[in-house]
Structure 1
């Protein structure tokens, strides 16, 4: 892995400070200090304390991240919406888990991306899922192909600068066509559910009503925070659980047997190029079918 940036001024600064200005994390500089990688300035290897005093190219070289042998590659197909040397955006189907866990270490987004990268002959085989989705939520997932990309995008993650919009189908009718649900969420004891909790983490979801049916509403939801089950828990707290969401008491009398939630819009700025990327995804067929079903209800 090799990346080059150009210092364009004569203001004195160390290599470390220069790299940090481009978002290189403390974790990576610590690895450099341990000899895991190197920095080249004007053709010569330099330490992080080396002072830059003139316009010059600074190249960072990092070894491939060691792959976990306990996470096998899986060659099942991926629907790829965008790809370059640093990023991968896939359209995840409902039912596919994002990352390996105790109950599934062989067929997740990470396993499939590892298999895909391996087939391409990539040296970095540790995919980093940036925008994780619940197992039964479908839609766009951003993946960093290596740890440097993950480190550089983290600032956007922490500052909630990655724009994620979802289509959700909820029970009943919202009181306003545009609103915000701004209540803290915490895990409900001895369950997998999350709910309103005054001592929980702040959570903010903005929504717009897109279409109303006799007993349900299609909304577009924009996450301003990224809490576990945020959309599902927030709409449930308003008395409008998602259609098909059994965990949160959603309607289970339609053809859809998973939560009606699809990540249809993703916007992020590439920290390497400063280019803005906008990706969209059509509603999957199972949610389209439930909309046809709801249209016939009275």
Structure 2
């Protein structure tokens, strides 16, 4: 099979194709023919060597989230499934435990399903850990990104009010999701106060000044959570809210009708370009690569 690998840490152009042995499912596993795979900041960090607790085994494969069709193993062949894996999703095939897959709902196309895997689990888990509920005012940093997009919609559906930080070009998008948009940056505290809303809880998917600004707005540190900035969390007494993977939470989120996730899809021959876009930390929604099975 073909798979995307890299032989050294470096920029996106270290990624290349390799021909590898076809995988075979073991007991309790399924073999999935991959249709699309998400690209995460985690993938970028691994590729650049900025994830020291993840040791690369060169040639190292890449990719954490997949969607495809079962072709062998402990589920019926032809079943469309999605789920999480570990550094092997950008390939023609992947083997995964049958208990960890989620059946793809009919209303989702393959690229969108791939784009929901990590964002759904991360956003839903963070909101649960922060106990976001009806009546809360959630300050959501980087609200137009993939995690922010899902967290905004889940919080609004739970009855919370969302103040979302984003660049001005994404403000109308946040309004469409049900959030009150504000620009990020040095003037954030004043911009939030100008809304007339008083935040009660914050979720940081941006890093940098976000946690300090959240605490500066009077949010109790134990209701300030981050998925990206452990150092700032420790400095301010805030929380790291990286919930573990959960097929159950993933299934619940992807089943929701009307959930939005803008997708920027790249053919996997453009995987380096897809990584560069994620590395730039700009844009809305999710970057995915579609796998050529021809």
Q: Same fold, TM exceeding 0.5?
A: no
Q: Hey, which of these two has a bigger chunk of helix by percent?
A: 2
TM-score normalised per structure 1: 0.29
Q: Which structure shows the higher strand fraction? A: 1
- Name which one, 1 or 2, has greater alpha-carbon Rg: 1
TM-score calculated relative to the size of structure 2: 0.30
